[in-house]
Structure 1
Amino acid sequence: MLLRVQPGRMDITTQRVAIVTGGSRGIGRHAAERLAADGLAVVVGYGGGKVEAQEAVAAITAAGGKAIAVQADVADESAVAALFDAAEREFGGVDVVVHAAGQMVLSTVVDLDLADLDRMHRTNIRGTFVVDQQAARRVRAGGAIVNFSSTMTRLQVPTYAGYAASKGAVEAVTLILARELRGRDITVNAVAPGPTATALYFDGKDEATIARAAAQPPLERLGTPADIAEVVSFLAGPARWVNGQVIYTNGGIA
């Protein structure tokens, strides 16, 4: 249980605290459980998956960790402020923010319903901005902000234009915020997973498409949520000299 108080030194007297948006399922849940295993108290932020969020909290507490679940629409500034309020009220502050909430709608440019585009960008772009705004105001010195981009920003894969555009915006916000927090001893990075075995990834894909994706990396498999959570753990804790970066976590696709 660690709280960094100044560069190069640790104080083991105070437990660090993490907020994980999208923490009720998929990569977000694995990140929440990994951070709890690392000794952090965790606030599991969720949108609509109340039962799943409660299950995540139960899993963390059963393993000896501390966690609560808080509902928040990540694009609603009042709801996100209340999420941070809950973390501060329950655990005394915020040291790590992992923004894993996101939406993915796949379609060619010519066929994409603009309502779906707006909904996806509201969560992925506005949501990132709103969460990062609160994080920039509240994360304590020695803390970390971890956003989620996607390897699809580097690959010109048909049907991903709207989603990749939203994740390109996440990268821009991440890199600029890292520089705006100069002097605060807070790192800001983004993780950019490749194809990862989650419900979000499998939705709408046939077996042949999934098999082709699994064959792409030199490691010849899809990523797992645990693979991604390992990188989140690194950025949230020991990676104090990694800042303003996009970490492509894809088994070697690109």
Structure 2
Amino acid sequence: MSTPLKTLFDLTGRTALVTGGSRGLGLTMAEALGEFGAKVILTARKQDELDAAVAHLAGLGIEAIAIAADMGKPDEPARVVEAIQAAGQSVDILVNNAGTSWGSKTEEMPLDGWNKLLAVNLTGPFLLAQAVGRAFMLPNCWGRIINIASVEGLLGHHPRMIGTIAYNASKGGLINFTRALAAEWGAQGICVNAIAPGYFPSKLTGYVLDKHGEELRGDTPRGQLGCDDDLKGATLLLASNAGAHITGQTVVVDGGASII
């Protein structure tokens, strides 16, 4: 007898940790997970933005707490996990969403910029997945890790726009990190997948969209950029038992821009 869809998507009793969760796509994904029953733990660098996000989720009837942390610092992932344990909480779902970018011609890209991008976009997700897996998911033989990559990790950056060599490299690395970890931890009941968004209006993409927004819309079969709701379905699928047989995959959410 098949399981009802409502049961497959239900996250009641689960706890989700969302990095970069105080605003933008991170907060949107937290809304989706919380709406289907998950408790939510948010991390971001700024406490005031976290407080506002927790209040926003509470207004939607979603139980949430926040831990201020900078995922670009190598000691922070372990500290976050220790704080979660000290609060008597666990983590079933990890959304590695925190990220940053740097626009520069490759020949002018400074090494400290490159290192900053890799620290936040690739090393941070590795260290947090390692800490969360070790503390919670591997002992429980259940977990869902969703890495927020980008279509820039699958494609070459268009030469008419400012270069983003470090961003592309970090997101490409995150996609193969997803495959490698999925293969290693699959037998322990842990699914690891990535979502690769196209262009969504955000603080991170503001400069590019101001200069190239109309071109990017014109290059997209749907003729529009992503909106707040467009990542919710993919996130819920990959976080729940509805996606239990999906692992090591990258779900592209870009309105079809990468197919032409």
User: TM-score, with normalisation over the residues of structure 2?
Assistant: 0.87
Matched, 1:183 2:187: yes
Q: 1:89 to 1:41 in 2, by over 3 A?
A: farther
- Residue 16 of structure 1 and its aligned partner are, at CA, apart by 0.6
Q: Which secondary structure does the structure 1 equivalent of 2:186 belong to?
A: coil
Partner residue of 2:239? 236
1:75-108 Cα deviation digits (max 9, x unpaired): 4444212322333444631110001000111112
Name which of 86, 95, 102 aligns with 1:98. Answer: 95
Q: Which secondary structure does the structure 2 equivalent of 1:107 belong to?
A: coil
Matches within 5 A, 1:155-234: 155-157=155-157, 158=159, 159-202=163-206, 204-205=207-208, 207-234=210-237
Identity of aligned residues (%): 30
Matches within 5 A, 1:111-130: 111-130=108-127
| In 1, Cα distance between equivalents of 2:239 and 2:12 | 16
| In 1, Cα distance between equivalents of 2:21 and 2:35 | 15
Q: Which secondary structure does the structure 2 equivalent of 1:205 belong to?
A: helix
- Residue 175 of structure 1 and its aligned partner are, at CA, apart by 0.7
- Residue 13 of structure 1 and its aligned partner are, at CA, apart by 11
Going by fraction, where is helix more abundant, 1 or 2? Answer: 2
Alignment check: 8 A CA contact 1:33 1:56 kept: no
Partner residue of 2:251? 247
Q: 1:210 to 1:180 in 2, by over 3 A?
A: same
Matches within 5 A, 1:34-73: 34-47=32-45, 49-73=46-70
**Which moved further from structure 2: 108-117 or 84-93?**
84-93
Cα RMSD between the aligned structures? 2.0
Alignment check: 8 A CA contact 1:95 1:141 kept: no
The count of residues paired between Structure 1 and Structure 2 equals: 243
Partner residue of 1:5? none
Segments of 5+ residues of structure 1 without an aligned counterpart are 1-8
- Residue 153 of structure 1 and its aligned partner are, at CA, apart by 2.1
Q: Which secondary structure does the structure 2 equivalent of 1:70 belong to?
A: strand
**Which moved further from structure 2: 154-163 or 174-183?**
154-163
| In 1, Cα distance between equivalents of 2:53 and 2:88 | 18
| In 2, Cα distance between equivalents of 1:13 and 1:250 | 26
| In 2, Cα distance between equivalents of 1:92 and 1:114 | 38
- Residue 57 of structure 1 and its aligned partner are, at CA, apart by 0.5
Matched, 1:108 2:112: no
Partner AA of 1:250 in structure 2: D
| In 2, Cα distance between equivalents of 1:235 and 1:183 | 17
| In 2, Cα distance between equivalents of 1:90 and 1:77 | 22
Q: Which secondary structure does the structure 2 equivalent of 1:156 belong to?
A: coil
Partner residue of 1:32? 30
Runs of 4 or more above 6 Å deviation: none
1:151-188 Cα deviation digits (max 9, x unpaired): 01232223122210011111121111111113211100
1:124-170 Cα deviation digits (max 9, x unpaired): 12111111111321224332000111101232223122210011111
